[in-house]
Chains A and B, each alone.
Chain A
Amino acid sequence: MSTLVILEQIYGGWHRMSWEALAAAQQMDGPVWAAVAGGANVNTLAADLAGKRLDRAWAVSHQLLTAYTADGYTAALAELIRREQPDLVLLPHTYQVRDFAPKLAARLGRTLVSDVVRIRRDDQGLVFTRQLFQGKLNADYRAVGPGPHFASIQAGACRADQVQAGTAAVEAFTPELDASMIRAAPQDPFREAQRAVDLTAAELIVSVGRGIKEQENIALVQDLAEALGAEFAASRPICDAGWLPMERQVGSSGQTVSPKVYFAVGISGAIQHLVGMKGSKCVVAINKDPNAPIFEIADYGVAADLFEFVPELTEQIRKLRG
């Protein structure tokens, strides 16, 4: 069984999740292939692949791939996959992959199994495990029919430091692209105004989620943050609602933090939140649902109603600190 992993370059470097996907591919038995797409610069970048355990590798390069577009990437990679016929195609589940991989699989008449946490093979073939209901349940999906099968790998599901070194010869692949195929005209990426709040250096963070229910209740959790001398942060829905500024959002579209202790108050533990705080040394989760996914990664769990528990905790901390 051959596995092709499609690695991602972003802003001229490697997306860190590329290596997690490569590690996943190397855990499959059979030949491992890799491809990376881009403009002229991709050839320099692809030189990094020469030191990895890969049976084949391609630098898919074309002037029309210099700026990422779903149209360009889909056409180029579909051409490579049609020619080489891998049995399995793996990608990192990044925002860019979300943007083109479903299209790529559909163009080849297949379905992408997205955001996969585990892949195994039994006597009937491939089984992909992925989450349902924002991590509340897991599901096994079985690949049926002929390959190539497509799967994208969830952030953190595999470890980049497990990529095996070796040697690989990187081949050039020049897809047949034409400017008329590319409909989107993307401009340069930008960041909004400079962040006034830097959560990345905080030692203690208290983060509030939708369990808080109303804007007026936010103060309750803010009190806890003050008593602890912690920075105050939130999950996305709190910032979407305008209850706290965006710059306090933790997660894949917010900040990535790694404090000594991260208090998750009324936060369910969806992967897009977890990727922003999984690096915390210690996670304390407070949630009234004992099955909330946040407890899967917490060090200390309190299954309680935050409206009862948080004021009590704040008071005890205040007493202690005098």
Chain B
Amino acid sequence: MKILAAIKQVPARDSQLRVNDSGTWIEEPDTSEINEPDAYALEEALQLREKAGGEVVALCAGPESASQTIREALAKGADRAIHIEDDDLGRFDSLGIARILAAAAATEQPDLILTGLQSDDLGFGQTGVILAELLGMAHATIIMKVEPRGTGIRVKRELEDGWFQNTDLPLPAVLTIQSGINKLRYATLMGIKKAKLKEVRKLTASGLGVAVEPSVRLERVFMPQRTKQTRMIEGSVRDQAAALVEALRHEVRVL
């Protein structure tokens, strides 16, 4: 089975985010990492390859600096990678990003494409679903289990409020993977060494023939406003605790 794993590099989770001067995006973060659900998607791809054979290709659109995340994916065991290098993906909307990824994926004819269910930065939760539409593939979202079954696959979808659903899909298909589906592996020293020799194919949006024609445009980024009157308790840790205990006793009356 040939599997593409879409991985995106995002600012590290604990980064201090600062809106840039023009209010159009954030300042370059100090550290970046793989988007969390994408780590699970890559792991699932590697486990499927271990079970059913085949190849895992990591697919990433992002700036030069995303090579870091691509190398980590190769070190964990992806066979090779495609890097659509672009410093300003923000000029595309979610359909535009999906068009770029779809154009690159089309050259590979994969049996399965795994994406994360949502990116930590933009949080569209859409890219995998649009990819499926553009490539004419079946899809399923928020996946907690993947089992090859005959010529297709059976997946377990997470629904709301603790419900699940099994669904059978023909291949080729796109799945959006939920965090927690598997246990992530660490890269081994051997893996890190081998990664250096693996192929990373570089492509560009314009080379893939994808034009910029958004139907929505990010106009302004800003800090959210508090909707509730939050009482921030200040002082030393001891004073803060004492003040909170007071409030819990006399205002909330639960102590």
Chain A contact-residue range equals 35 or more
Pick the contact of B238: A143, A149, A312 (CB < 8 A). A312
Q: Is the CB of A139 within 8 A of B252?
A: no
Which residues of B lie under 8 Å from residue A304 when comparing CB positions? Answer: 237, 240
Tell me, yes or no, whether A43 is within 8 Å of chain B by CB.
no
How far is the CB of B175 from the nearest CB of chain A, in Å? 11
Q: In the bound complex, what is the Cα–Cα distance between A159 and B227 (angstroms)?
A: 15
Q: In the bound complex, what is the Cα–Cα distance between A304 and B98 (angstroms)?
A: 41
CB contact list, A93-120 vs B, under 8 A: 94-95, 98-100, 102-103, 105-107, 109-115
Q: Is the CB of A134 within 8 A of B123?
A: yes
Knowing A98-B142, A99-B129, A301-B232 are in contact, say whether A141-B216 is a contact too (CB < 8 A). yes
How far is the CB of B174 from the nearest CB of chain A, in Å? 10
Interface size on B, residues (CB 8 A): 78
Q: Is the CB of B123 within 8 A of A300?
A: no
Q: Is the CB of B216 within 8 A of A111?
A: yes
Q: Is the CB of A297 within 8 A of B228?
A: yes
Residue of A nearest to B138 (CB): A183
Knowing A103-B133, A260-B254 are in contact, say whether A298-B138 is a contact too (CB < 8 A). no
Tell me, yes or no, whether A50 is within 8 Å of chain B by CB.
no
Q: Is the CB of A184 within 8 A of B167?
A: yes
Residues of A within 8 A of B (CB): 70-71, 74, 94-95, 98-100, 102-103, 105-107, 109-115, 127-128, 130-145, 149, 183-192, 195, 203-204, 210, 228, 236-237, 239-241, 252-256, 260-261, 282, 284-285, 289-291, 293, 295-304, 308-309, 312-313, 315-317, 320-321
27 contacting pairs across A/B (C-beta < 8 A):
A70-B139, A98-B141, A102-B129, A109-B95, A113-B216, A115-B124, A127-B219, A131-B123, A131-B224, A132-B122, A133-B121, A134-B120, A139-B221, A142-B217, A190-B164, A191-B163, A192-B162, A210-B13, A295-B232, A298-B228, A302-B244, A304-B237, A304-B240, A312-B237, A316-B245, A317-B245, A320-B249
Residues of B within 8 A of A (CB): 11, 13-14, 17, 19, 26, 93-96, 98, 117, 120-126, 129-130, 132-134, 138-142, 158-170, 179-180, 213-233, 237-238, 240-242, 244-245, 247-249, 252, 254-255
Given A111-B215, A187-B165, A300-B230, 6 extra CB contacts under 8 A: A133-B17, A133-B123, A140-B218, A144-B217, A260-B252, A295-B232
